[in-house]
């Protein structure tokens, strides 16, 4: 895991911010919505406390590697430990600082930031903000760890840095160990964000590590998830501007598995099931012009569907949306988007979303 891109410009699109702007005043309303629409199943709601504890221990070990290896070299033993917690390969994707990285980019950035760019013993604090850390385990072998970071780092160039990011870390259990297969980092929304630059770097040659559990493609399941994503897009497109409670908005909400595990990171803020449902119904059903989805797609070659164990799928892409908003007119939306799906009762359901603007 890394935070090289933590000092970034807070560029939030209207698409992201709009959902956030109304959330405070609609808590009671959206709570009723969530109560009505929460989907309940053992697959979605089962907690797996032993697996949760293992994932937290792994996360703590990752923090120890970063803390112990700070400033002690690109190829220091602690950086090797840090990298060992990842399962690199073709499925691995990281979204950070408004950019997308593969396995090679992730490894380079983590070694560079923590091993070289931080002062020796320069991790002054590595923690989650109280009450924000959540570990959602699905089928006992895939875990989505989400939190708001509370890091303090001593950087050789920028001095003391406080890092408050919304972070998604997706783990898969393979050969008895929990390995990172996806990361998504985005800054917490603040009224006025600090602006800072990021050091440039060149990516080394892509590398591949892993096992058949990590790299198995599950082509049939990939196709099912793609079809589900297309159906989500159709619901949004067909329901644009046709009402908060229209049949198409009901269809859209039906693709989610709401409950205590559900979390959305969007516009630098955190939403639960109720907030997510309200925002989606409000934006697509009310705030867009009728038939106001002009384009709903992914930037070519950015859409990736990584399936694990045949029952959990991580869909990542850069959005290429064009929306006609009643107030703001035509909006082009280019975001880095993570959508986590779990198969339950024969259907793929959304259990986590993370949206952040492209740099």
pLDDT at 85 over 90: yes
Q: Residues for the chain: how many in total? A: 359
Q: How many CB atoms lie within 10 A of CB 156?
A: 12
**So what's the pLDDT on residue 211?**
60
What tokens does 348 get?
């793929």
C-alpha angle 62-10-282 in degrees, rounded to nearest 5: 100
Confidence class for position 182, pLDDT limits 50, 70, 90: very high
Distance from C-alpha of 2 to C-alpha of 150, rounded to nearest angstrom: 13
Read off the pLDDT of each residue in 28-52 and give the average, rounded to a whole number.
Answer: 65
Global pTM reads 0.87
Confidence of residue 221 (pLDDT cuts 50, 70, 90): very high
Q: Look up residue 29 and give its two tokens.
A: 């309303």
pLDDT at position 248, please? 98
Q: Give the number of other Cβ atoms within 10 Å of residue 94's Cβ.
A: 25
The domains located in the chain, with CATH, are: 14-44+217-357 (3.10.450.50), 46-213 (3.10.450.50)
């Amino acid at each position: 895991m890394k935070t090289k891109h933590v000092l970034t410009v807070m560029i939030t699109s209207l698409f992201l911010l709009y959902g956030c702007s109304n959330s405070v005043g609609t808590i009671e309303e959206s709570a009723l919505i969530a109560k009505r629409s929460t989907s309940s199943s053992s697959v979605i709601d089962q907690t797996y406390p032993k697996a949760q504890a293992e994932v937290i221990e792994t996360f703590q070990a990752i923090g120890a590697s970063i803390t112990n290896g700070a400033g002690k070299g690109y190829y220091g033993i602690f950086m090797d430990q840090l990298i060992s917690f990842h399962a690199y390969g073709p499925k691995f994707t990281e979204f950070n600082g408004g950019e997308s990285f593969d396995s090679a980019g992730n490894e380079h950035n983590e070694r560079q930031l923590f091993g070289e760019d931080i002062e020796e013993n320069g991790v002054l604090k590595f923690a989650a903000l109280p009450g924000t850390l959540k570990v959602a385990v699905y089928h006992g072998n895939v875990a989505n760890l989400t939190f708001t970071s509370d890091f303090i780092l001593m950087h050789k160039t920028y001095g003391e840095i406080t890092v408050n990011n919304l972070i998604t870390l997706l783990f898969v259990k393979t050969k008895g160990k929990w390995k990172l297969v996806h990361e998504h980092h985005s800054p917490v929304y603040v009224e006025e964000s600090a602006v800072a630059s990021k050091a440039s770097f060149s990516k080394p040659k892509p590398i591949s590590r892993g096992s058949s559990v990590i790299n198995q493609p599950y082509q049939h399941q990939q196709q099912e998830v793609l079809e589900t994503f297309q159906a989500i897009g159709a619901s949004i497109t067909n329901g644009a501007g046709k009402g908060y409670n229209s049949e198409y908005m009901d269809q859209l909400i039906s693709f989610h598995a709401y409950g205590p595990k559900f979390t959305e990171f969007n516009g630098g803020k955190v939403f639960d099931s109720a907030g997510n449902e309200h925002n989606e119904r409000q934006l697509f059903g009310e705030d867009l012009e009728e038939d106001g989805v002009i384009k709903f797609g992914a930037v070519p070659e950015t859409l990736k569907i990584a399936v694990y164990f045949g029952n959990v799928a991580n869909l990542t892409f850069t959005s290429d949306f064009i929306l006609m908003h009643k107030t703001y007119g035509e909006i082009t939306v280019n975001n880095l988007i993570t959508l986590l799906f779990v198969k339950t009762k024969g259907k793929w359901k959304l259990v986590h979303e993370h949206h952040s603007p492209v740099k």
